[in-house]
A and B are shown apart, each in its own frame.
Chain A
Amino acid sequence: MKAQDYLPLTETSFFILLSLATTPKHGYAIIKEVEAMSAGRVVLAAGTLYSALRRMLEDGWIERVEDGLPSSDNRERKLYRLTDLGRRILELETERLQALVRLTSFRDVRE
């Protein structure tokens, strides 16, 4: 499938991809980043996050890498990072959203 075929993204998927755009992160860090980016509006539950991550892994948007550093409970943590396809999808979705915002600038949407 081409990157365009996955659009439009759900808000959850968009925030997850956006949080991974800068550096690879593990699950808890993704939740915290999404919460901070949305100013507390989007709070992901762990189940919701991992279902989305599983889907993204299957579709090849993200990949798993070993962290190397064990967490406080001695479990080895996995990091998630964007693949080229994932980055392309994020770029296309951002362009789509920007186009929508531009559209509103031609019209006065406020009463």
Chain B
Amino acid sequence: MVGHFRGHGLNLVMRLLDYLLLLYPLHFRMEFSSEIHGVLLSRLCEAKKRSHSAWFAGILREVTGLIFSILQECWHDMRKKMTNPPEQMNPNRESNRFASVSFRLSLISILCIFLMLVVLYSGFSPIPYVSLPLQLVLAILFLSIPTLTSMGSLYTGIRSLGPIRAKNQKGSWMAIFGIVFGGLVFLSMGLLYLAIWFDS
């Protein structure tokens, strides 16, 4: 049963990581993404065989590594474009690809963060006499309003980058940064919210 769940877990995690790979700059993605995918798959399969803790530590390490690497590569790409502007780019192709990917990625990242907050909240619940399933339900109810508010803010933030980008064709990196930093802001807001709740 646990193995079956973890088999599905591996597929789900690999899918999430594949979406994360799409956030790399185009040339980096074309050059390395299939290799990174292969390495991630091998690493996670290996961790899965070891133990639960190794599996979760492996996911955490790879996701964190990817996020930092994406930020680093986007920054590098942006600096390169500033010093050497590209001769010919097809902005439509990039923006179409970006639109669908960004939507799915935003949804997945928001769901992941939401689930993480639910688990965190239910784990440190101040009502110990309530059973675990009920704690989870309470956590979902309790966290739904701030999550929906944050989703709305994040969506508005990303949408507001659109006109700036339309004015300046070189600004495609802004939307990518919008998603990444939006995610980080959202995560910080969630953690802050939790901290305030525990404090009170």
Binding site for B on A (CB under 8 A): 26-28, 31, 43-51, 53-54, 71, 73, 75, 77-78
Contact = CB atoms under 8 A, between A and B. Distances in A.
Interface stretch (B34-42, B100-108, B135-143): B34-42
B73 A51 contact: yes
Interface stretch (B62-70, B81-89, B118-126, B177-185): B62-70
B50 interface: no
B32 A54 contact: yes
Given A43-B61, A51-B73, 15 more contacts: A28-B38, A28-B42, A31-B43, A45-B64, A45-B65, A45-B66, A46-B39, A46-B40, A46-B66, A47-B66, A48-B69, A50-B36, A50-B39, A50-B69, A51-B72
A46 B62 contact: yes
B98 interface: no
Contacts of B70: 47
B38 A47 contact: no
Contact of B38 (A48, A51, A53, A71): A71
Q: Is the interface of A mostly helix, strand, loop or mixed?
A: helix
Nearest to B60: A45
B65 A46 contact: yes
A53 B31 CA distance: 11
B34 A48 contact: no
B155 interface: no
A46 B43 contact: yes
Given A54-B28, A54-B73, A47 B35 contact: no
Contacts of B31: 54
